[in-house]
């Protein structure tokens, strides 16, 4: 880790991820489902001030019978809706063979928890110059997360954003156990930005607010939150998504917490 000394700030669409004065917000649905669904989700988010829009194209579902995402078809939808609202895009890449295409049409690449140690994929995104959100694996240690980041860094791409999204434990009342101590721990061990995903980690809309506040309070550089225009009709993970309205309200509650720690969610 010796090379990681200077604080890394990654600017995308005016949002300085890793800047000690900023809490970056990434919001959007689990999966891109249709042009209409994306528009109805993105429009209110943009109005609320969100600059980074997420949406999944390929859904790595545990069960091959479940909805697998629109694939490359969804890429155009994500790109056009985001452009219309002056938003940048975040999407997950699963296959090293898709990296070129996806990085040509998106602003931030995401590596999901299941692929944190998919080294072929890490190296491939390391060869692009796109920012990469690297999610912690379900049973990965913090040290392994940092070493996985090294696979990307060592290919020449310095723009890695770590993401704490909960680990798998015996506790079943929440989807995963959000390990927020990862945030200050990573700040000690690395200069990379670290964001928190309160949606996947808890799996419960009611817990997203409290855990978002806690994440900001302990120093997270950003939040990635699932928002869907109509959660009850979502094709994937709808039960844990907020509506755009709920998300706007949450933003108002988060700003005062951000202020206390010297940051802002407004850019």
Task: Point out which residues bind a second copy (CB under 8 A).
Answer: 60, 62-65, 94-97, 114-115, 117-120, 138-139, 141-144, 147-148, 150-151, 154, 167-174, 177-181, 183-185, 188, 201-202, 206-207, 209-211, 213-219, 256-257, 260-261
The pairing of strands 10-12 and 52-54 is: unpaired
Distances 175 to 54, 163, 166, 198 between C-alpha atoms, Å: 21, 16, 8, 10
Nearer to a second copy, 38 or 225 (CB): 225
Q: How far is the CB of 157 from a second copy (least distance, A)?
A: 13
Q: d(Cα 42, Cα 226) in Å, to the nearest integer?
A: 12
CA distance 90 to 58: 13
Cβ 44 to a second copy shortest distance, Å:
25
Task: Please compute Rg for the chain using Cα positions.
Answer: 17
In the complex, minimum distance from the CB of residue 259 to a second copy, in angstroms, rounded to a whole number: 8
Asked whether the beta carbons of 32 and 59 are under 8 A apart, the reply is: no
Rounded to a whole number of angstroms, the minimum distance from the CB of residue 209 to a second copy is 8
- State how far the Cα of 236 lies from the Cα of 93, in Å rounded to an integer: 17
Closer Cβ to a second copy, 29 or 209, answer by number: 209
């Amino acid at each position: 880790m010796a090379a990681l000394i200077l604080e890394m700030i990654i600017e995308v669409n005016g949002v300085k991820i890793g800047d000690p004065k900023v809490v970056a917000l990434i919001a959007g649905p689990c999966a891109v489902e249709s042009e209409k669904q994306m528009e109805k989700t993105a429009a209110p988010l943009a109005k609320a001030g969100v600059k980074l829009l997420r949406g999944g194209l390929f859904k790595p579902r545990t069960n091959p019978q479940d909805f697998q995402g629109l694939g490359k078809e969804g890429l155009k939808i994500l790109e056009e809706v985001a452009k219309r609202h002056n938003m940048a895009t975040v999407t997950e890449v699963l296959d090293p063979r898709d990296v070129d295409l996806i990085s040509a049409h998106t602003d931030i690449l995401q590596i999901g928890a299941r692929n944190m140690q998919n080294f072929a994929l890490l190296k491939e995104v390391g060869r692009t110059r796109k920012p990469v959100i690297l999610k912690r694996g379900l049973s990965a240690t913090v040290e392994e997360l940092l070493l996985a980041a090294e696979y990307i860094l060592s290919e020449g791409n310095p723009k890695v954003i770590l993401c704490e999204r909960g680990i798998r434990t015996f506790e079943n009342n929440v989807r995963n156990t959000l390990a927020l101590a990862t945030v200050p721990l990573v700040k000690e061990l690395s200069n990379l930005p670290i964001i928190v995903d309160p949606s996947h980690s808890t799996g419960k809309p009611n817990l997203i607010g409290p855990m978002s506040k806690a994440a900001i309070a302990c120093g997270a550089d950003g939040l990635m939150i699932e928002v869907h225009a109509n959660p009850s009709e979502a094709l994937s993970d709808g039960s844990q998504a907020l509506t755009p309205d709920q998300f706007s309200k949450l933003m108002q509650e988060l700003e005062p917490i951000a202020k206390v720690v010297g940051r802002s969610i407004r850019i």
